[in-house]
């Protein structure tokens, strides 16, 4: 009370006049800021809704087969969605795994060999997940042991895993097009075909996403990872181990990669030296499209992977339909427009982070 009185005394001195409306102005500014942040947070979801609506309109206007179009769309998006959902844990730490594609290729390579040997889809998925988790663990353990930034170890793993997988495919597979592939023999494809249902794939994705959401939002793991990503020095000083939570992040990412690898085999059904070649970059773009900050931290969200991955594939499909209806050579345009959209998304979502306040 003494302090209050002192303050009151100070406030009534002529040399320090009090501006009464100030708190109201502050409240208004804060309200505006909150609304702006709320709108920007909703932008990725709104954009997804708009993109989906545009896509459906284009399908109807062009008289495309809706069912087959959606099947093709789900098949394109699902693998990115699996890998990106797991990778959110890595991105939350402010880290980046450039070897996600190579890891998917390597896991799928071992998985397809297991399927051809056993004929068991279950065994194939288990092996894909175990191999992918092992690759991820190797990444994080090397980083922890040698005190290297995790990004650096993933660069090395990118080369190693690609080389080993390519070698296995060249040894065990056969020529296809201008590369090599290990293809599931036709007689064994029926087993995989049963799992190639878009509905089943979506159910598996939903289960995986729910597990990730639970770990990320309702356990200490997620909170500590966000803390580490947002302020690593402060987090370390609070006793949070970078190594342990890095390993957990890479394990979760490994599970996503393994599921993605399994789904690749179910879809193709084969693995070639070019399989999953663009996954790493697609995942990165998907997460940014989903509105998540590249720097990770407290604003990381699991749904960013699902929203972003879906939006990215929708955008590509829409561009393909639009450009196709114009005729002429179009392949470069899809990449060009995607790149411009990517920059625009980063700019808009970045508006939310350009603040002096810590996120709350």
Partner 1 sequence: MTELPAPQNYNVKFTYSATLDSNEAAKTQTENWIAQNYHAVIDMANLDRIGIADLCNKNSVYYVVASGVMTEVDWNVAKDYKYFLGQVGPNDDAEYNAGLAMGQYYKDTKNVKKVGIYGAFVPNPMHVNRLAGLITGLGGTYDGATGAAIAGKITQSVDSTKINIPGITVSYFDGFNPETTFGQFGAIAASQPDAFLSVGMATTFFAGSLNDANIEYADIDSFTADNYGHMNDGKLGYLAGKYASSVGPVWALIQSAANGTPIRDNGKAVSVLQNFAVAKTAAECNAFTEAEGPVWNKTVLDQIISTNEKNVSLASFKTLVENDGKTA
Query: Would you say the C-alpha torsion 35, 36, 42, 47 has a positive or negative sign?
Result: positive
Which of 285, 270, 265, 267 is CA-nearest to residue 100?
A: 285
Q: Which of the ranges 55-63, 221-229, 235-243, 246-254 carries the binding residues for partner 1, by CB under 8 A?
A: 55-63
The SS3 of residue 277 is coil
DSSP for 2-30, please give it.
Answer: HHHHHHHHHHTSTTS---TTHHHHHHHHH
Burial 219-248 (b: 16+ CB within 10 A, else e): eebbebbbbbbbbbeebeeeebebeebbbb
Binding mask 317-336 for partner 1 (x = CB under 8 A): ---x---x--xxxxx-----
Is residue 87 classed exposed, middle or buried when 0-12, 13-18 and 19+ CB atoms within 10 A define those classes? buried
As beta bridge partners, residue 271 has: 182
Q: Pick the closer one to partner 1 by CB: 75 or 295.
A: 75
Residue number, 176 or 241, with CB nearest to partner 1: 176
Q: Smaller CB distance to partner 1: residue 117 or 174? A: 174
Residue closer to partner 1 (CB basis): 128 or 288: 128
171/357 with CB nearer partner 1: 171
How many chain residues touch partner 1 (CB under 8 A)?
41
**Any idea what DSSP says for residue 179?**
E
Residue 268 binds partner 1, judged by CB under 8 A: yes
C-alpha distance from residue 3 to each of 12, 15, 220, 251, 340 (Å): 14, 19, 39, 53, 56
Q: Does 9 bind partner 1 (CB under 8 A)?
A: no
Shortest distance, CB of residue 193 to partner 1, whole angstroms?
Answer: 9
Print the binding letters for residues 62-91 with partner 1: x by CB under 8 A, - otherwise: xxxx--xx-xx--xx---------------
Mask: binding to partner 1, 288-317, rule CB under 8 A, as x and -? ------------------------------
- Residues forming contacts to partner 1 in the complex (CB under 8 A) are 59, 62-65, 68-69, 71-72, 75-76, 170-171, 174-181, 183, 185-186, 189, 264, 267-270, 272, 274-275, 277, 320, 324, 327-331
């Amino acid at each position: 009370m003494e302090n209050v009185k002192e303050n009151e005394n100070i406030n009534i001195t002529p040399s320090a006049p009090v501006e009464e409306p100030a708190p109201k102005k502050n409240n208004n500014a804060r309200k505006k800021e909150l609304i702006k942040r709320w709108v920007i947070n909703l932008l990725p979801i709104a954009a997804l809704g708009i993109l989906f609506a545009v896509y459906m309109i284009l399908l109807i206007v062009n008289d495309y087969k809706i069912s087959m179009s959606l099947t093709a769309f789900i098949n394109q998006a699902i693998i990115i969605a699996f890998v990106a959902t797991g990778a959110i844990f890595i991105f939350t730490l402010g880290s980046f795994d450039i070897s996600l594609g190579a890891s998917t290729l390597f896991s799928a390579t071992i998985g397809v060999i297991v399927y051809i040997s056993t004929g068991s889809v279950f065994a194939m998925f288990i092996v894909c997940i175990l191999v992918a988790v092992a690759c991820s663990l190797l990444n994080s353990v090397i980083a922890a042991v040698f005190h290297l930034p995790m990004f650096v170890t993933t660069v090395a793993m990118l080369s190693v895993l690609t080389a080993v997988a390519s070698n296995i495919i060249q040894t065990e597979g056969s020529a296809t097009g201008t590369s090599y592939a290990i293809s599931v023999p036709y007689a064994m494809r029926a087993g995989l075909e049963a799992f190639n249902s878009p509905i089943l794939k979506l159910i598996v994705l939903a289960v995986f996403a729910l597990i990730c959401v639970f770990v990320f939002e309702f356990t200490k793991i997620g909170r500590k990872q966000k803390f580490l990503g947002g302020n690593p020095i402060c987090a370390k000083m609070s006793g949070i181990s970078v190594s342990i939570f890095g390993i957990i992040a890479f394990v979760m990412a490994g599970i996503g990669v393994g599921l993605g690898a399994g789904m690749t085999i179910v879809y193709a059904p084969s693995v070639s030296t070019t399989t999953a070649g663009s996954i790493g970059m697609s995942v990165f773009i998907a997460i940014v499209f989903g509105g998540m900050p590249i720097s990770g931290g407290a604003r990381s969200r699991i749904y960013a992977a699902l929203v972003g991955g879906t939006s990215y594939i929708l955008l590509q499909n829409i561009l393909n339909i639009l450009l196709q209806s114009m005729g002429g050579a179009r392949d470069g345009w899809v990449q060009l427009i995607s790149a411009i959209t990517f920059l625009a998304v980063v700019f808009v979502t970045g508006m939310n982070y350009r603040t002096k306040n810590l996120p709350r």
